[in-house]
A and B are shown apart, each in its own frame.
Chain A
Amino acid sequence: MSLTAQVGIELDGFTLDLALAIRAGRTTAIVGPNGAGKTTLLRALAGLRQLSTGRIELDGTVLDDPASGIYVPPEHRPVGVVFQQHLLFPHLDALDNVAFGLRTGGLRRREARVLAADWLERVGLSGRERARPAELSGGQAQRVALARALAPEPALLLLDEPLAALDAATRNEVRRDLRRHLATFAGVRLLITHDPVDAAVLADDVIVLDGGVVAQAGTPAEITARPRSRWVAELIGTNLFVGRAGSDGAIVLEHGGTLTAADHLRPGPVFVVVHPRAVALHLRQPQGSARNAWPGRITAVEPVGDRIRVHVAATPAIVAEVTASAVREIGLREGTDVWVAVKATEIDVYPR
């Protein structure tokens, strides 16, 4: 099972032109700023907008190919969509929202409701069957939207900023749940987001979209470590670690090293995000207030736009982003021994 798409869309002077090839069982994140063409791409894959040029093929079936006059309308595509703002039907309760796609698929009301109840249970919403969307919390609505999209068993699942409508506190929890549910979906998964943490936590591959074309593609680790342009760095170029929070608040990282965060942590597996701008480099061991400090050696100094990204081999290895004048003044170059310092307040932790 796989999705291959060559997407060409012209609209109002904006051109979307990109190629996608995604295998089933993997999650690909499309990352880009507003206006990059993310939502247009999603609508084309769902069939809500026709291609100008190109071809979309899912599991060997051509869904859109203007050159040979093929266009499969959305209702006949095996595609499920989790929309931004969830877009649950306000006149239907949670159960009938999930049952909607099963009914249009030909199931009788009773059978559809039995299956829909199973799906609600699977996303942990047993007992909320009769709740209207207006009565659900943001996190619950997100889970109903996911169950609704998955219930008809699509071959391709599209998620459009699935976490954007949630407040920050709910987002971490829902992100972790979403990751678990995505792992159980066997088809092709495509996630649209502007949040590098979503991409890093939820995706196996990342495609950065800018002005309708692919700016960079790779695994989250590759892109976060080596963003190819200033704005990719701004968007997604962050330090990402996998680790486990202990009961003492220290996070033991998978590839060695320990970090201390300011937040009170629940023990368990976590992602840790440290923005390169929050990483300070010193020639001697720092005496200041930074809770995290460890020695290393500079392996690369690369200018990205008007900033310099300094790669430091250490435990853990990390990227710092500093100004060109800072590099000159303290003489940072490849091979320099440095101390890395990060304040505990600059360490963002996400349960995984």
Chain B
Amino acid sequence: MLLFAVPLAGLLWRAPWSSAWRELSSGPARDALRLSLITSLSATAVSIALGVPLAWVQARIAYPGKRLVRALTTLPMVLPPVVGGVALLLALGRRGVVGSQLDRIGVNLPFTTAGAILAETFVAMPFLVLTLEAAFRTVDRRLEDAARTLGAGRFVVFRRVTLPLVAPSLVAGTVLCWARALGEFGATITFAGNLQGRTQTLPLFVYVKLEGSAPDSAIVLSLVLLVLSLAVLIGLRDRWLTAR
């Protein structure tokens, strides 16, 4: 208990409450906050667009290599994020295997906002996929059969029966994914760098400020992240904290 409570108490104790608002509204802090919202929400959107179909395929379709795909999609959850960043850089960097091809057609990902979004997606998407895959498995397939006998084609069945049935898990997975993307540090700084306004997200900003000139603004922004995390926890409490 103390292990968890003491750091939190320390954060609150040291918080410069009087100057909090000024720290928050300073230019670089605002940039970092804005950028974090943009990149984390974009990463979440990409994760939904790619993760929902992926989770459905993983839950429903038998194909060779399925276990490999599962291993690959789960890997970012256990991989140190900085390793993910290195891997992304080696693959998609300017001299990377894929990156050199992309560079030729004028697409450049490292050290851009798009690169930060990619790094966050890499780390955060598994949370959505795994949550949703489990949910797709628990849907009673006979309800989908019933819908088909009522004239619903496969897509209508998905949209009007399957998706509503997994909606609570979709929400939970999305929030988890977003929270993870918002807090992403290692992969982002490795792959996308630390450029103010372009790739310097909140966690990066906090780290830089704490190391450097303005620990107070690091503390205030840490509090912002803490509040967001608590909001996620409270939002999902029915899923995790209450006995079923």
Contacts and interface: CB of A to CB of B under 8 A. Distances in A.
Interface of A: 43, 46-48, 73-77, 79-81, 83, 85, 87, 89-91, 100-101, 104-105, 148-149, 152
Nearest to A83: B146
B147 A105 contact: no
A83 B147 contact: no
Interface string B128-158: 0000000000001011011111111100100
B150 A101 contact: yes
B27 interface: no
A75 B148 CA distance: 5
3 nearest interchain CB pairs?
Answer: A101-B150, A104-B151, A74-B148
Given A89-B161, A91-B164, A100-B160, A75 B152 contact: yes
B165 interface: yes
A152 B150 contact: yes
Contacts of B152: 75, 100, 104
Contacts of B165: 90-91
A276 B56 CA distance: 54
Q: Which of B142, B150, B161 is packed against the most chain A CB atoms within 10 Å?
A: B150
A48 B148 contact: yes
A160 B9 CA distance: 61
A76 B154 CA distance: 12
20 contacts: A43-B145, A46-B145, A47-B149, A48-B145, A73-B153, A74-B145, A74-B149, A75-B152, A77-B149, A79-B149, A81-B149, A85-B142, A87-B145, A89-B146, A89-B161, A91-B164, A91-B165, A100-B160, A149-B150, A152-B151
Given A90-B165, A91-B165, A100-B160, A75 B151 contact: yes
A48 B147 CA distance: 11
Contacts of A48: 145, 148-149
A224 B227 CA distance: 73
B153 A89 contact: no
Given A89-B161, A90-B143, A152-B150, 20 more contacts: A46-B145, A47-B148, A47-B149, A73-B153, A74-B145, A74-B148, A75-B152, A76-B151, A77-B149, A81-B146, A83-B145, A87-B143, A87-B145, A87-B146, A89-B146, A89-B147, A100-B150, A101-B151, A148-B150, A152-B151
A46 to B, nearest CB: 5
A149 B151 CA distance: 11
Given A87-B142, A89-B143, A80 B149 contact: yes
A73 B146 CA distance: 13
B164 A104 contact: no
A232 to B, nearest CB: 30
Nearest to B145: A48
Contact of B156 (A47, A87, A104): A104
Nearest to B149: A81
Contacts of B142: 83, 85, 87
B146 A75 contact: no
Interface residues of B, number: 18
B153 A75 contact: yes
A75 B146 CA distance: 10
Contacts of B153: 73, 75
Contacts of A80: 149-150
A104 B152 CA distance: 6
Q: Which of A43, A48, A79, A85 is packed against the most chain B CB atoms within 10 Å?
A: A48
A79 B77 CA distance: 47
Given A90-B165, A91-B164, A105 B151 contact: yes
A152 B149 CA distance: 10
A149 B142 CA distance: 15
Contacts of A76: 151
B149 A46 contact: yes
Q: Which of B147, B148, B152, B167 is packed against the most chain A CB atoms within 10 Å?
A: B148
Contacts of B140: 87
B146 A104 contact: no
A73 B147 contact: no
A248 B153 CA distance: 56
Nearest to B164: A91
B169 to A, nearest CB: 13
Contacts of B145: 43, 46, 48, 74, 83, 87
B148 to A, nearest CB: 4
Contacts of B161: 89
A221 to B, nearest CB: 32
Nearest to A86: B146
A75 B164 CA distance: 20
A279 B27 CA distance: 95
A101 B161 CA distance: 12
A111 B152 CA distance: 18
A213 B235 CA distance: 56
Contacts of B146: 81, 83, 87, 89
B168 to A, nearest CB: 10
Contacts of A87: 140, 142-143, 145-146
A247 to B, nearest CB: 44
A116 to B, nearest CB: 12
A85 B146 CA distance: 11
A334 B142 CA distance: 53
A118 B142 CA distance: 26
A101 B143 CA distance: 13
A253 B219 CA distance: 90
